[in-house]
Each structure stands twice: as C-alpha cells, then as structure tokens.
C-alpha cells in the first residue's frame, strides 16, 4: 500500500458540504478496459467480477470499465457481451470507447435496449437526432455507505482517426482544451453539491490521461483505456501524478482483450483526498470456456465448423508490432478471393487468434470483427513503399505499437527495430519474387490491390493508402473471405498455421530508444496470476 501522507502533495481542501458526515473512507474498484468482446477471455473476467462483488458486498465498491467492451459491427454478438456485463458481472458504469460505435450510433442504441449499464461521455457532442443523447450521460452520481461518488467519462480524442467514416456522421468529440473545460466545469458543479470523490472513466489513452490529470482540479481516480497499456501498481510520476492543485491522482489501465483485470483499493481523508492506494493487476485464463460457448450457442445459434486446427502460433503480446501467422492467413484470403496482385491489412484489425481444435465460422468472425468493407483499387509501387515505411517507422518507435504494421499478401519485407525499411519484395501469383527499389519506387508500376475502408481513409492512420485511382466497393469484410478460404484448404481438417516470415524485424546491435522505453515500461508492470 502506498501511504500518500509520505509523499509531498500540496493538499488543497475542496468544498465538501454534507458529504463529510458519517462517511466511509475506504473504496474498492474492480476495473477492466478494451475487452473488445473477446469471449475466449470472458469467463475469466466474468468469474473475477463475480468473486469481487461477493467479497466486497458489505463494503463500498464499484465495478467499472474504461470502454471498448465490444468490438465490431455484429450487433447480436455485442448485445450478448453487454448482457454478460450487466446480468452476470453487474458493471456499474463504463466509458464509451471508439469500438462501442462500430455498429453506428443506432447500432449501439439497439445493443443497449433494456440495459441498465451507465455509459458516460462528458466530452461527446452528439447531433440532436442521435439516439445516444438519451442513453449516454455527461456524468452520474452513485451513493454507497452514505457517501456520494461522481463519475465522468471521456471518449477518445482521436475518434475521427480510429473509426471508419461511416459511423462518424452524428458524433463529434471535443479536442483536448474543450475536454478539459467540459470536465472542469462539471467537477466544479459537483463540488458545489458537496461531492468531492470524483472518478473519471477515460477512453483517451495512458499519456493523455496523465496530461488530463495534471490539467484538472478535483479528479481522484482515472480508470483508463484505449492504448492497451499494462499498468500495475502505483508509482509516483508514472501512474500516480499531481493534479493541477497538486493533489494525488491514480491512473489505471489493464491491457486489452480481457488478458488482465484490476483491483484498486483506496482510502480518502474527510476532504476527499487520497491517502492510501493499492493497485494490482491479475491475469485471466485464456482458454475457451464451455459455459460461455454453450451460452453463445443458445443465444446466437450454433456456428458451423469449417476446419480443425492442429497447431497455431498464439497471439503475440503486442499484435500491432509483431508479425504472426493468423494475420498472414487472413490477408492471404483477401488476395485469393479476388485473385489480386496484393492485399494489405492493418495489424490492429486482428482482435484474437483462434485456439487449437475445432474452428467455427464464429471463431473466424470474432478474430476480425470490425465489419469494415473491402475495396479494390490500383496503387502505385511508390504508394505501397511509402505506406509500409510510414507504418514501420511509426509503429516500431511507439511503446504502444501504434498505428500498427501493415500485413501483406503478395509482398514481403524486412525492417529493423528502429522502423527503417530494409527490403521489400513483390511476389507474383506464380510465387516469383522481385525486389523493389525502396529508395526509388516507381509511380508507373501499378498493383491491383485489396484492402478495406479503414485503411483507405485519407485522414486515418495510413494516409499513404488513400486511393488515387478508381475504387470498387464491396459489401463484406475479410471474415467472409477467410471463412471461404479456410473451408477450401486441402488440409483444413489438420491445419498447422505457422508464420512464414514474410515480415521480418531485424534487431539492431544497439538498444533503440523504443526498446529502452519498452524495457522501462515492462519493469513497471508485472501482473499477478489469478
């Protein structure tokens, strides 16, 4: 436990009103973020939440999420996940992540029918006819043991660049300055009501949470998400920071995909200032749960088996910056379906890797759930080189691995861990490799290319892939191409899915700044096994 009385904070006394009387100074919070509808991890998350709730039933506690509870535009699947969160986990409140909107505002509204989970977004600006105006709240107040707690929320400030254009029409998200003003105005109003224990559910990212904490006066706890950071424990100037008035603010985040959940135990003084903190992460069991699979079959219908996996490379710790076999198979299916020269897919599009054994259509769809729409266009050699260079440079120099590598079919490449592209080859339909001059790529060489509407955004994460030629749009995503492709493989009943090394990352002899930052990051995070 960290005793904050031993740390130098200037302790500003907030207006407290009647909220001081007969108060409990201890609070326990169970938290998660960025589960992305990963049902393989759902059983571990669900059981952990139930155990926490039973253990803390006689004391002040909340179960909270920082958003991205679901992922993709399958409304039926998303509704199933939200049902689990409400009826089994008893989630008290959640931020609104970008993936909550994957099925559009109306889709999210439909998924929330008859749900009582409180979704909060203080910095969201919805059009007047957006149904989320009636569902998503600017703040909520909950009372436990005679004490009132207030909850605010933030949607990601980069909402426009991390969502597809088709879901953006009726939503805007405030920029940083506007967000700080909106949050502070709400905090000030809450203080006038005598509420000084204020929790922010943030889907804005770890670095942004630290920046917000230092620019706000009155936030005590930030339950964070969006960057999939693994933040265990409490370390001053890392995830324990000073507010604008130099009061302590603790920031949490528990990775992604239900790999971890967290428990935060805190104590306040009578003025609502944190005095003690214990923050711990716990890992979940990643195996499929027969219970969850049975419930899914009952609620969603039994999914046809299409193959059997003998062996498969598991999902890497960071799916954005590490090549892996399942992503290669998916992008190969895109190229094969259209018989194109090349296909490209952003690494973050793959949300999970199926497990060994029976492979169903649902397993494939859940692995790439975004329901983007595929496109076909002509791209220049120069365009491809610039896009891969940009993706490597930005991804391998980011501790979070954003925006993510570009997985390819019909292309193979080598980069070093500094993100410098070293070699790039075009592989034609007969398997013949031709080296591309990456220093002088040609604009007169065109490739028939398949990718999706997210990768094609000119103001998105891969602007070099914005089409410059005529575009043919399709009504389906890569889950459909993958299901068809796998179903026709000659060894589908005994699949051995391994990485063919089409993307190679060469380690340099000298540690890079990225490696140092990752080592520092990992030294601060050591989740406990549950």
Is residue 28 within 8 A of residue 57, CB to CB? The reply is no
Q: What is the mean pLDDT of residues 514-521?
A: 44
Strands 374-380 and 357-360: unpaired
- Provide the phi-psi class of 262: left if phi over 0, else alpha when psi is between -120 and 50, else beta: beta
**Whether the predicted pLDDT of 278 surpasses 90:** yes
DSSP string of 493-508, one letter each residue: GGEEE----SEEEEPP
Tens digits of residue pLDDT in 83-96: 999 998 999 999 99
**Whether the predicted pLDDT of 168 surpasses 50:** yes
Nearest to 326 by CA among 77, 489, 104, 498: 498
**Given CA atoms 223, 225, 227, 232 in this order, what sign does their dihedral have?**
positive
**Given CA atoms 217, 221, 222, 228 in this order, what sign does their dihedral have?**
positive
Mean pLDDT of the chain: 91
Residue range(s) of every CATH 3.90.780.10 domain in the chain: 303-511
**Start-to-end Cα distance in the chain:** 19
Please tell me the distance from the alpha carbon of residue 312 to that of residue 324, in angstroms, as a whole number. Answer: 10
Mention the CATH class of domain 303-511: alpha beta
Give the three-state DSSP class for 245.
Answer: coil
DSSP string of 351-373, one letter each residue: ---PPSEEEEHHHHHHHS-----
**Whether the predicted pLDDT of 520 surpasses 60:** no
**Whether the predicted pLDDT of 336 surpasses 90:** yes
Tens digits of residue pLDDT in 22-53: 456 999 999 999 999 988 888 899 999 999 99
**Whether the predicted pLDDT of 519 surpasses 90:** no
| R_g of the chain, CA atoms, integer Å | 24
- Provide the phi-psi class of 495: left if phi over 0, else alpha when psi is between -120 and 50, else beta: beta
Longest dimension (CA), the chain: 78
Helical (H) or strand (E) element with 452: strand 446-452
Tens digits of residue pLDDT in 419-447: 999 999 999 999 999 999 999 999 999 99
Is residue 194 within 8 A of residue 19, CB to CB? The reply is yes
Helical (H) or strand (E) element with 144: strand 139-144
Helical (H) or strand (E) element with 94: strand 93-95
Tens digits of residue pLDDT in 368-418: 999 999 999 999 999 999 999 999 999 999 988 999 999 999 999 999 999
* Fold classified for 2-17+24-286: Purple Acid Phosphatase; chain A, domain 2 (3.60.21)
Please tell me the distance from the alpha carbon of residue 421 to that of residue 392, in angstroms, as a whole number. Answer: 7
Residue 23: the pLDDT is: 52
Confidence of residue 123 (pLDDT cuts 50, 70, 90): very high
Higher pLDDT, 507 or 114: 507
Strands 61-65 and 93-95: parallel
**Whether the predicted pLDDT of 517 surpasses 60:** no
Q: How many CA atoms lie within 13 A of 270 on its CB side?
A: 6
Please tell me the distance from the alpha carbon of residue 130 to that of residue 64, in angstroms, as a whole number. Answer: 25
The percentage of the chain sitting over the pLDDT mark of 90, rounded to a whole number, equals 83
Cis previous bond, 403, omega within 30: yes
Confidence of residue 114 (pLDDT cuts 50, 70, 90): confident
Residue 292: the pLDDT is: 85
Helical (H) or strand (E) element with 242: strand 240-242
**Whether the predicted pLDDT of 17 surpasses 60:** no
Residue range(s) of every CATH 3.60.21.10 domain in the chain: 2-17+24-286
Number of CB atoms found within 10 A of residue 290's CB: 9
Q: What is the mean pLDDT of residues 195-199?
A: 97
- The residues pairing with 279 across neighbouring beta strands, listed in sequence order, are 264
Residue 511: the pLDDT is: 52
Report which DSSP code applies to 420. -
Residue 524: the pLDDT is: 43
Residue 113: the pLDDT is: 85
Strands 433-435 and 357-360: unpaired
Q: Where are the alpha helices (DSSP H) in 301-380?
A: 325-338, 361-367
Residue 223's alpha-carbon distances to 158, 386, 511, in angstroms, are: 18, 37, 32
Q: Where are the alpha helices (DSSP H) in 267-324?
A: 290-300
Q: Please, what is the Cα angle at 168 between 72 and 181, to 5 degrees?
A: 110
Residues 6+ apart with CB under 8 A from 463: 390, 457
Is residue 83 within 8 A of residue 298, CB to CB? The reply is no
Residue 392's alpha-carbon distances to 147, 403, 516, 518, in angstroms, are: 50, 9, 18, 16
Residue 382: the pLDDT is: 98
Confidence of residue 315 (pLDDT cuts 50, 70, 90): very high
Residue 510: the pLDDT is: 59
**Given CA atoms 42, 96, 65, 284 in this order, what sign does their dihedral have?**
positive
Please tell me the distance from the alpha carbon of residue 253 to that of residue 517, in angstroms, as a whole number. Answer: 17
């Amino acid at each position: 436990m960290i005793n904050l009385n031993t740390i130098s904070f200037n302790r500003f006394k907030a207006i407290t009103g009647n909220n001081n009387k007969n108060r409990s100074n201890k609070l326990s919070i169970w938290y998660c973020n960025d589960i992305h509808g990963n049902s393989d991890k759902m059983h571990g998350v669900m059981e952990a939440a139930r155990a926490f709730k039973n253990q803390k039933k006689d004391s002040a506690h909340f179960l909270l999420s920082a958003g991205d509870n679901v992922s993709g535009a399958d409304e039926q699947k998303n509704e199933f996940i939200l049902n689990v969160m409400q009826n089994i986990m008893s989630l008290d409140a959640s931020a609104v992540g970008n993936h909550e909107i994957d099925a559009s505002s109306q889709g999210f509204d439909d998924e929330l029918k008859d749900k009582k989970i409180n979704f909060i977004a203080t910095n969201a600006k919805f059009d007047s006819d957006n149904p989320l105006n009636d569902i998503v709240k600017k703040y909520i107040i909950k009372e436990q043991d005679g004490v009132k707690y207030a909850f605010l929320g933030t949607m990601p400030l980069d909402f426009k660049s991390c969502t597809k254009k088709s879901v953006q029409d009726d939503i805007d998200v405030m920029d940083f300055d506007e967000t700080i003003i909106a949050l502070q105005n709400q905090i000030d109003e809450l203080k006038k009501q005598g509420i000084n224990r204020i929790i922010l559910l943030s889907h804005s990212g770890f670095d942004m949470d630290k920046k917000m904490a230092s620019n706000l006066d009155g936030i005590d706890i930030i339950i964070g998400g969006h960057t999939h950071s693994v933040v265990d424990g409490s370390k001053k100037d890392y995830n324990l920071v000073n507010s604008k008035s130099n009061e302590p603010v603790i920031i949490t985040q528990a990775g992604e995909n239900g790999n971890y959940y967290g428990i935060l135990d805190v104590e306040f003084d009578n003025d609502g200032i944190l005095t003690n903190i214990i923050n711990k992460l716990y890992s979940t069991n990643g195996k499929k749960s027969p219970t969850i699979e049975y419930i899914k079959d009952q609620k969603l219908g039994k999914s046809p088996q299409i193959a059997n996996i003998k062996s498969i490379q598991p999902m890497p710790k960071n799916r954005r910056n590490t090549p892996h076999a399942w992503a290669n198979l998916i992008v190969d299916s895109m190229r094969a379906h259209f018989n194109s020269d090349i296909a490209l897919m952003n690494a973050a599009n793959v949300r999970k890797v199926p497990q060994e054994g029976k492979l169903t259509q649902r397993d494939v769809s859940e692995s790439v759930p975004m329901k983007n729409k595929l496109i076909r266009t002509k791209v220049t050699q120069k365009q491809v080189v610039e896009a891969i260079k940009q993706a490597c440079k930005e991804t391998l120099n980011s501790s979070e691995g954003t925006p993510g590598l570009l997985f390819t079919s019909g292309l193979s490449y080598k980069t070093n861990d500094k993100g410098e592209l070293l070699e790039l080859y075009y592989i034609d339909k007969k398997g013949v490799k031709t080296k591309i001059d990456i220093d002088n790529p040609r604009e007169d060489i065109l490739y028939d290319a398949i990718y999706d509407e997210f990768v094609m955004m000119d103001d998105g994460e891969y602007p070099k892939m914005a089409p410059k030629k005529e575009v043919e749009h399709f009504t389906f995503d890569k889950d459909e191409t993958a299901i068809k492709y796998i179903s026709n493989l000659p060894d589908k009943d005994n699949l051995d899915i391994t990485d063919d090394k089409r993307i190679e990352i060469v380690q340099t002899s000298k540690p890079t700044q990225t490696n140092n930052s990752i080592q520092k990051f990992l030294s601060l995070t050591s989740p406990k096994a549950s």
